[in-house]
Structures are given as C-alpha cells and as structure tokens.
Structure 1
C-alpha cells in the first residue's frame, strides 16, 4: 500500500517535468522561421499520425507484455531526441526526422502512465477516483505548461526561438530516472518470462477481439478519436498561426497560451462532475454543440477576442477527453489495458490524418480561417453520429433487459 501511495507522488512529479516545455508556445512560428508553410506543417502532422499508426499498437502490446515503466522511459528518450533534432532542422526532411522520433516516443508513452495510475488506484480499491486524480494531473500539467508558455514567449522574443528548444531538453533525463522508480502493481506485472513475437500477436488478437465485440468500448474509442484529432491535432497545434491575423504579436503568445492552459487546467477539475452529466442525452449533445460553435466563430473573427471562443472550445473538449479516458479504463481488462489504449490511439491517428488533410486543403485553397470553420462543422457532424450511436446502444440494452 505504501508503494502505491509513493507511485502517486512520482506520477505527479513526472507530470510536472513533462509539462515544463518552453518550445510548445512557439512551435509553429519556429517552423515558419525555418521555411515551413502551413501545408508543410499539416504534412508533418500527417506523417506523425502515419508513424504513430505503425508503432502505436505494437508499443501498447510491448507495454502489456513487458514492464510499463520501461516502455514509458524508452518513450521519453525518443521525445528527448525530438527536440534535439528540431534544433538542427532547416528543411522538411529534417523536420520529418524530428516528427518520426516524436511519433515513436508518443506511441511508447501512449496510455502507459494512465494504465499505471489506474492499476495503482485499483490496488487500493480506489479506481473510482481515476477521473478525479486524472483531472488534478491535467490541472497541474496545464498550470505548469502555462508558466512555461509565458517564460517561453519572453525568451523567444528576446533570445530567439532556438533557445526554447535547448531549455526544453532539461526535464527529460530527470523524468526517466523518476519513471524507473515507479512501482508496478502485481496485477499489471507481465506473466510472460520473455517477449515473444507469437505471444505478442496472440495478445494483440485478443485485445482487438475484445474491442470489436464491446459496442460501448467502440463508441468510446470513436468519440475519443475525433475529439482528440480536433483538439490536439488542430486546436492546440495550428491555432497560433491565426493569432497574427487577429492582431496578437509573438511576445503575447505566452499570455494567450496561459489563458488556454488555465481554462484547460480547470476543465480537468470539472471532468469528474461531467462524468455523470454526460450520460444525459441532452447534456451530452450540449457538450459537443458549444465547442463546435465556438470553433466556427473563432475561425470567423479577425479580432484578438476571437481567442476567447478558442479557449471555450478547448476547455470543454479537454474535459471530454478525460471523461472518455475514464470510460476506456473501466472497460479494459488489466492484462490488455495499454493494448486497448493503443487501439484507441491508432484510430485517433487515422482520423487525424483525414482531418489534417481537410484542414490543410482548405487553408491552401482559401484561408486558415475557413479551415477552422470547417473544423467546427466536422465536430458538429460528430454530434449527430454520437447521438445516433448513443440512442442505438441504449435501445439495445433496454431490449436485452426486457428479454432477460
């Protein structure tokens, strides 16, 4: 029990260190300064998604049949090289290499720390606290990210963009050391004595079978994938390219980022309340309507206050991702937890490619403003699909209850 409590403290510490990244606030303008166009950036995001699709599920299986903390530490090592390679990138091929290392690192990390947290809480019979603890972690993550964004914006304005990337390397070695001290609960320790390709294939086949046959789990994965593609693939990644057209100078990017991180942080605390509210059909639809309209308005405004609508959309979608992460953990068996999380990430990356191509196409053909309007429309379509799936599943469960 003492080791489990120790784990929570370590997870908090690792989250803080991983959030203290100075480069994120100027990532897109850094790319522009090195000669990348908006379409180039979309191609890089698509390459990231393609690489992630290739490595995502094998990485999840590796985490389940190996030690999760070793897989997580290896992922952070690749993320270190993402920023290191970026410093020396002056062409599309070099940036592609940086995104390759980022994709491998992200795949190795995907769902791993969350699985360790859930199983740590489960050992204490506190798995119901997963969304609450995850919300606090998200609050900490975005609070630290906001501080890093303010400092990063000032550093970039006075010393140039490259310095931010050098400073961002510091936290990774420390995080890796802390990860190696994590305790893995007995239920999550692999039963395999060694990693065998055939065993990994059998493990993967079982995970895919459970995912496909669980209708609720499939619905959770679909909604999570679309929300994640919109939120992390576009809103967080591409929104800064619209700031200059709204009259926001680079030195104020940090303040805008702080506003986004503050509302994202508090959305993590709100997620625990949303967990029960989102089961109501009306509220569920409302939680998607508001961000859809907000994204559309953000893409239609040429004034600085347009970012307020961006913040509203991000805040609600961040809370939704936490709630659905909890649904995913609840539906996943311990021995397949990271594998199923990787299946979810696989679907997310596949959808990210489609949405990224659509976004880049409209930005190239029209303007980036139009791209955000289209993005809001895509999310609105999700409402219709999600509502249909919800009602269909509800009717099916009702029928099963009546016949039994």
Structure 2
C-alpha cells in the first residue's frame, strides 16, 4: 500500500485539482448545452432544477453514509460519480443524457459535501479549521484559473472535449485518493451492533437532536437557506446581464464568450489575493474567536450585497465589471470563513450529517429561489431579477447580528461568573 500523505497536504491537493477539473467543465458547459445540445431557456432551467433537486434529496442519506462507514469512502464514491456524470454529458449530446448527468454528478457532490469537511476536521487538528478552509479556498482559486485557461484553449477545438477530459480526470483523482488519502481518526456515529438501516436512523435522529438543541446551528442553517435562495438566480442571470444589458468591448475577431474567460481569470486572481490578506489577518491576530469570525462575516456580507446591487442596477460596462468582480470576491472569501464557523459549532460524531443537512437546506433554497427569480426576470427585467437576488440576502445581516448578539451576551456572562 502506498504511503499516505498528511491530511492537510491531501486536502490541498484535492482542493486545487477538483477546482481545476470543475472549472474545465463549467467554463464551457453552458455554451455546450446551448450550442451543441440545443437546449431552450426552459430546458436550461430544468437542468438546473434537476441538479438542485438531486442534491436536496441525497444530501442527508449520503451524509449518514459518511458518518457510519467512512468519510474517505464517501469522498471517493463522490469523485467517481462526478467524473462519470461529466463524461456522460460530454459524450452524448441529448437532453436526456444531460439530465441523467446532473443526477449522477449531483449525487456525487452530496457524497463529498460534508464528508470532506468532516474528514479534515478530524484527521488534522494541528492547524485551525479556519486556516485550513481559507488555504483550501486559495489553492482552489489557482486551480480554477488554470482550468479556465485550459478549457478556453481546448474549447476552441471542441466544446465537448473539456467536459470529457474534466470527467476523466475526476476518475484519476479518485484513484489518487484511494492510494494516498489517510483516515485514522474516524469513529462510526452509530453502535456496531445495529444493522445498516438502524445505524442510519440512529445517526439521523442524533444529528437532529444536535441541531434542535443548538440555537446557533439553527441560526447558521437559516443563513444557509437565504444563501441558497439567492445563489441560483445570480448564477443563472449574470451572463445574460452582461450580454443583454451592456455592450462588451470588441476583442478583435474573438467571440464574446472570451470575455467570460477573462472575467473568470481576473475574478479568481482577485479572490486569491483577498483570501491571502485574510490569511495574514488570521495569523497576525491573537484573537480568532467565534465572536471575531461572526463580525467578519457580517462585514463581508454587507459589501457582498452592496456589490451585487451595483452590478444589478448599472448598464455601464466598467461599473458592471467592478460590481461583478466585487460580488464574486466577497462571495468567495465568505465561503471558507462561514464553513470554519459552522464546523466549530458541530460535534464530531454528527459532523458529516449536520453538514449534509446544511447542504440540503442550501439546495432547497436554490430550488425555491431559482424559479422565483426567473419569473421576476422574465416579467420585468434581468436587472430587476438580480436586484431581487441581492434583496434576498438582506436577512442574513439580521441573522449574523443575532449570532453576534448571542456571542456577546454569552461572553459577558462568562466574564461575570468569577465575580459571583
């Protein structure tokens, strides 16, 4: 058996290469579905809804598998399914194959969601989770930039080729994880003497008790719901906003799609730089308390919402680009800090299931929010649709403020206790 790498190195390798492969696929997938598969706008929405519904249905069952059997096994299964899904979509250009591909890679994603975060939280306790997630996000940005460049080059020859190559490389990644991914600290969440179904129900109900008994987790899951409600609308409309509501500068004989490759690269590099600044802030500060993290998340989300509003209401290309890049940067920086904060509030034996519940709530939000924003954009305008998306994020500011208030009140009680 091959020598295992350290959990931290394995996590970073997974982060950079999975981001690279995803980026290769996603850079061309929308263009591929429109130009090669010939999907209509309604069918494009159906594809997105199929993916999110799959994630919603399978998040908790796959999270239970990770809590009962193995986080490593769950991640490997997920990577294999993602690879098979992308390969199917690239090889067969029909609506049916695209829909089946969404189901395959959607299930694969749920096997990884929660399991990967739970794995690194248990396997490497020498580095603070906040720093691990931020570093993982940073190397992911590097992988994504490389993926965008490769997809743009290869996509000039064939739109399906980056999708097929990306899917194949996911299968290679699964073999690497099988050989080198360590797992030494996993403890099944259910007693060994229970059968499979009783283990699953035991883990599920135990996790639900954890959620119900922890008001902070309830607030965090509520925040996730609003993230889900807003994300699908923005992701589906930002391209159309650039194409229909402003004039893209010409780039010689290159197609307008080239601009989106440029946007992606600039956005990734900008996010990587900002994340590095956040890392330095974490290292230079002696206080990395939950209180500080909540305050940072509140500030990030204020600028996140303001940036999206600017992007939505302007038709000037330069201002629109500033709003777009700022929105994506604050969104990217928000994710690892939020994940670290969430993980620090979860018990180890139910971590994967609670994280999967978090993913399921995000998917539910996208299922509900996507069509709603789509109806608004269809009946009014794309700009109004994106503005509505930004407004759907406003409640997270209230929820973060409530979390901040609870932490402040708790710290005051703790400080006063010795005086009694």
Same topology, TM > 0.5: yes
Which stretch has the larger CA shift, 142-151 or 58-67? 142-151
Of 241, 259, 265, which aligns to 1:258?
A: 265
Q: Structure 1 319/4 Cα, relative in aligned 2: closer, same or farther at 3 Å?
A: farther
Once the two structures are TM-superposed, the CA of residue 192 in structure 1 deviates from its matched residue by: 3.1
Of 28, 44, 49, which aligns to 1:46?
A: 49
* Residue aligned with 2:80, SS: helix
Which residue is equivalent to 2:88?
Answer: 85
Aligned alpha-carbon RMSD (Å)? 2.8
Which residue is equivalent to 1:119?
Answer: 122
**Superimposed CA distance per residue, residues 364-402 of structure 1 (whole angstroms, 9 cap, x where no aligned partner):** 223322211111111123323443454366557757987
Which stretch has the larger CA shift, 198-207 or 251-260? 251-260
Q: Structure 1 104/283 Cα, relative in aligned 2: closer, same or farther at 3 Å?
A: closer
Which residue is equivalent to 1:144?
Answer: 143
Whole-angstrom distance in 2 between the partners of 1:66 and 1:177: 19
Which residue is equivalent to 2:167?
Answer: 169
* Residue aligned with 1:216, SS: helix
Which residue is equivalent to 2:73?
Answer: 70
Q: Which structure 1 residue ranges, 5 or more long, are not aligned?
A: none
**Superimposed CA distance per residue, residues 107-132 of structure 1 (whole angstroms, 9 cap, x where no aligned partner):** 1110222222111222xxx25x2211
Which residue is equivalent to 2:332?
Answer: 318
Q: 1:146 touches 1:254 (CA, 8 Å); kept in 2?
A: no
Which stretch has the larger CA shift, 179-188 or 276-285? 276-285
Once the two structures are TM-superposed, the CA of residue 29 in structure 1 deviates from its matched residue by: 2.3
Which stretch has the larger CA shift, 383-392 or 338-347? 383-392
Q: 1:168-317 alignment to 2 at 5 Å? A: 168-180=166-178, 181-188=180-187, 192=192, 196-227=196-227, 230-231=230-231, 233-236=232-235, 238-245=237-244, 246-248=246-248, 249-272=256-279, 273=281, 279=292, 284-305=297-318, 306-317=320-331
* Residue aligned with 1:331, SS: coil
Q: Residue 98 in 1 paired to residue 115 in 2?
A: no
Which residue is equivalent to 2:17?
Answer: 17
Whole-angstrom distance in 2 between the partners of 1:202 and 1:97: 31
Q: 1:221 touches 1:328 (CA, 8 Å); kept in 2?
A: no
Q: Structure 1 196/271 Cα, relative in aligned 2: closer, same or farther at 3 Å?
A: farther
* Residue aligned with 1:186, SS: coil
Of 350, 359, 366, which aligns to 1:352?
A: 366
Q: Residue 32 in 1 paired to residue 34 in 2?
A: yes
Q: Which structure 2 residue ranges, 5 or more long, are not aligned?
A: 249-255, 283-287
Q: 2:82 touches 2:108 (CA, 8 Å); kept in 1?
A: yes
Q: Structure 1 134/280 Cα, relative in aligned 2: closer, same or farther at 3 Å?
A: closer
